[in-house]
A and B are shown apart, each in its own frame.
Chain A
Amino acid sequence: MINTKKFRRHSCIVAVFYLVMMPFTSIADVYNLTVDKVIIDTGKFKKQGIGYNGASPGPVLRMEEGENVTINVTNNLDEMTSIHWHGLILPYQQDGVPTISYDGIKPGETFTYKFPIVQSGTYWFHSHSGFQEPDGAYGSIVIKSKKREPFRYDRDYVVQLTDKHPHSGARIMRNLKTMPDYYNRQQQTITDFISDSETNGLGTTINDRMAWGDMRMMPADIEDVQGFTPLINGKGPNQNWTGLFKPGERIRLRFINSSAMTYFDIRIPGLKMTVVSADGNNVRPVKVDEFRIAVAETFDVIVQPKDDKAYTIFAESMGRSAFGRGTLAPRDGMVAEVPQLKKSPLLTMADMGMDHSNMKGMDHSNMKGMDHSKMKGMDHSKMKGMDHSKMKSQVDPFYAPGSGLTPNAGKDKKFLSYQDLKAQKQLYKHRAPTREIELRLTGNMERYIWSINGKKYEDEEEIRLQYGERVRFKFVNETMMSHPMHLHGMWSILDTGAGKWNPIKHTVSVAPGTTLYTETEVDAPGQWAFHCHLSYHAASGMFRKIVVVGGPKSALLNSITSKEPKV
């Protein structure tokens, strides 16, 4: 009897053990990636580039939250390579940035990444060596959540965008350095001058041209690099990537902007999109008609096409020089109308950090309207009378007031703003930051030099952070370009004024002439890259190394050779 009882108890434990352990053992997965030379066919041109497992984009790596991944990366190129797992929280040695995380992967060598997956959502990976990423070295990561997600869908598609250029990344960099407007084919011409004179009067037009000429800057300078063909999942507009659905189904579209330089405005005419996730972190669902995706950002949206017809996924570049196009259709081969590109925007003096009344003396300290910290505290209890007109503000506080870049989805249509993003789940307890670090985003367009606080990467020391602190970064964009700033290894909590519900991102876009704040809980020891994700801005100096000192694994850091911090 006793024996039997003992046996039964034992078998019971074994059963429980298996029940519990099985899912874990089965998902400690191994992934293999090869880095290869590939031919990229955009439908407009064919170009040799770099891809993974023989293709660009590389595969969708499907992982599960809680698993320990092993990724073998074999370099079949004749130059060094690397893979950075964009947005993943992992030990810094696994982050894949040459000279910061490790040495990189030599030709012919296989490097094995091993790290636990501690998050879920949509992410991507790309080379962090030279210009391999613009040359095609990118892919996507989809991580299944352990818990049920706060939204429902029947189908799931990755929609990965890029701006494939007929020139190699190295050549683009060289051309930009030699002639910064090399690729800008939207400059103002005599024809524009004549038509502007007719509309605004000759005097005004001359004054306008003189004001820009005085600064030696161009209002049409929105896209540094034009002449690219936007691709969706590797397909050009004519090759038309198509995702199938059955009418009535909810489709989750995981938008990833893997472009080197291009922001896209995305819409699906005929469908509302419910944004449910940004940069891998769920946000409270918000229904929009259109959204802008900065370079390196991801947005997950849910759409529910009810009719038995095709819908166009239309992704027009922010400067309107090109569009990407895909289709959602009940059956293969169905197409929907492809909209025309909207008119190209022009920067205004507001984007230069000034308004028209005061064009000289760029006083950046006077940038009104951007103080997000003052926006909270809208005391609802005191709202008597309820002024409806002031409630529905069409102004996006993440653009300079009067900016030429402020997006607009059209009458009665909603364009997503950072302001709409509210965390679905807090990752950290909300608390006051321990200190603020000001980062002025600076540059010289004519020399094509991009920098932070006026210094290029190679001319400045690293930024040192203390493990356990909560740092508030103040980004002051003193340039006329938008900069998608990406911090590796730790989250950037974007201050939208929503307090504890501020959205949690890995990349935040700072529009020209604006100041924005992010906060970071410094919880990842080691050294990390921090940079503008526009490839040619990062390469020309808008880049910093961050060193996190202290913390549980501080012993690991002893091997890091880091210079003494500047006073």
Chain B
Amino acid sequence: MKINFLIFFSIGVIVSALSISPSLAQQKGLLIYGLQLEELEFRRGDEGEELFAWNGDAFVGTDEVKLRWLGEGEYDNTTSKFEGLENRLVLQWPISPFFDMKAGFRVDTPNGPDRSYSVLGLSGLAPQWFEIDADFFVSEKGDTSARLDAEYELLITNRLILTPSAEINVAFSGDHEIGVGSGISDIEAGMRLSYDLIDRRLSPYFGVVYERKFGQTEDLAKAEGEDFEGWRAVVGTKFMF
């Protein structure tokens, strides 16, 4: 239910943004919007598992404040289950020339128990062109966790781009019901080679992703008989609107 509400809310905001004539923009604050799917891919694991995964965001707003939806998920084709399904809705505003603050909430609705969180985060461009996202979460149960996301674009040519990325999740307290133990819970590292086929609108890619769970989280996964580590080959496309 929550997820539906979020999606409809976001779509509503975007549609109303579209209906405002751009010719007004020069005089008032410019209203902008956009949709970006950084990852939209098919994943095949070293043990034959097949997954479908995405990671993207959409926004509407001005230079001063934006409403942003961020979503990511992983659907396991073999088990027909959402391994992960996460949606965030945040307000975002600049706090320095290169960084924005964002605040809002996050709802996780994968197969299994749901969770909702409050979110406070930073997002921006660090020196040497590292795109950084750092988020802090407090769940409805009072558990706290953090996530650090970093990405770098290496230009082989102006259209052929190699993108290494890394994500680290840290839990400050365990939430065993959803399989998270305290400490560094997991990492995901990726390397994708993309080609800008149509502008930057459509950029197909392939690459590899390495996922690994740590500490208590690893133990919990083992206890459930799940994978705690794995390589995946990915193929997909970036999409930008």
Contacts and interface: CB of A to CB of B under 8 A. Distances in A.
Are chains A and B touching directly in their complex (CB below 8 angstroms)? yes
Interface of A: 79-80, 98-99, 129-132, 170, 173-175, 177-179, 182, 185-191, 210, 213-216, 227, 444, 446-447, 449, 456, 458, 538-540, 543
Given A179-B200, A447-B94, A189 B25 contact: no
11 contacts: A130-B22, A175-B34, A175-B200, A185-B159, A186-B158, A187-B158, A188-B155, A210-B128, A213-B127, A215-B127, A539-B26
A493 to B, nearest CB: 28
B4 to A, nearest CB: 27
A447 B32 CA distance: 12
Given A170-B22, A191-B157, 12 more contacts: A79-B21, A130-B23, A177-B63, A179-B200, A185-B158, A188-B155, A189-B157, A190-B155, A213-B127, A458-B29, A539-B30, A543-B26
B98 interface: yes
Contacts of B128: 210, 213-214
B23 A190 contact: no
Interface residues of B, number: 31
Interface string B14-53: 0000000111111111101110100000000000000000
A527 B104 CA distance: 43
B140 interface: no
B32 A99 contact: no
A458 B159 CA distance: 36
Nearest to A215: B127
Contacts of B63: 177, 447, 449, 456, 540
Nearest to A539: B26
Contacts of B129: 213, 216
A132 B26 CA distance: 12
B154 A80 contact: no
A539 B240 CA distance: 23
Contact of B98 (A179, A216, A227): A216
Nearest to A99: B27
A458 B25 CA distance: 10
Interface of B: 21-30, 32-34, 36, 63, 94, 97-98, 125, 127-129, 154-159, 199-200, 240
Contacts of B98: 216, 446
Contacts of A132: 23
Given A189-B155, A458-B28, A444 B97 contact: yes
Contacts of A129: 23, 26
A446 B200 contact: no
A210 to B, nearest CB: 7
A39 to B, nearest CB: 21
B22 A177 contact: no
Contacts of A130: 21-26
Nearest to B162: A190
**Nearest 7 A-B pairs (CB), nearest first?**
A130-B23, A213-B128, A170-B22, A178-B34, A189-B155, A185-B158, A177-B32
Contacts, number: 85
A185 B161 CA distance: 12
Residue among B29, B32, B34, B154 with max Cβ neighbours from chain A (10 Å): B32
Contacts of A543: 26
A309 to B, nearest CB: 38
A456 B94 CA distance: 15
Given A210-B128, A213-B127, A214-B127, A190 B156 contact: yes
Contacts of B240: 178-179
Contacts of A177: 30, 32, 34, 63
B155 A182 contact: no
B31 to A, nearest CB: 9
Contacts of B26: 129-130, 538-539, 543
Contacts of B36: 178
Residue among A99, A216, A540 with max Cβ neighbours from chain B (10 Å): A216
Given A182-B199, A189-B156, A79 B25 contact: no
B155 A79 contact: no
Nearest to A81: B23
A98 B26 CA distance: 10
Residue among B27, B36, B97, B98 with max Cβ neighbours from chain A (10 Å): B27
Contacts of B97: 444, 446-447
A329 to B, nearest CB: 36
Residue among B28, B129, B159 with max Cβ neighbours from chain A (10 Å): B129
Nearest to A82: B23
A175 B22 CA distance: 13
A540 B24 CA distance: 12
A540 B22 contact: no
Contacts of B199: 182, 227
A216 B22 contact: no
A177 B97 CA distance: 14
Nearest to A130: B23
Contacts of B157: 189, 191
Given A80-B23, A446-B97, A447-B94, A540 B158 contact: no
Nearest to A184: B158
A187 B155 contact: yes
A350 B36 CA distance: 35
A132 B158 CA distance: 30
A130 B33 CA distance: 17
A187 B157 CA distance: 9
A397 B32 CA distance: 39
Contacts of A173: 22, 25, 30, 32
A543 B29 CA distance: 12
A227 to B, nearest CB: 8
A283 B215 CA distance: 78
Contacts of B29: 458
B32 to A, nearest CB: 5
A449 B64 CA distance: 11
B191 to A, nearest CB: 15
Contacts of B125: 216, 446
A295 to B, nearest CB: 16
A405 to B, nearest CB: 21
Nearest to A447: B63
A133 to B, nearest CB: 11
Contacts of A446: 97-98, 125
A214 B63 CA distance: 23
Contacts of A80: 23
Nearest to B61: A177
A185 B94 CA distance: 27
Given A213-B129, A446-B97, A189 B158 contact: yes
Contacts of A190: 154-156
Contact of B127 (A99, A175, A182, A216): A216
A178 B32 contact: yes
Contacts of A174: 32-34
Nearest to A540: B30
A304 to B, nearest CB: 42
A187 B158 CA distance: 6
Nearest to A445: B97
A210 B130 CA distance: 12
A185 to B, nearest CB: 4
A449 B200 CA distance: 21
Contacts of A187: 155, 158
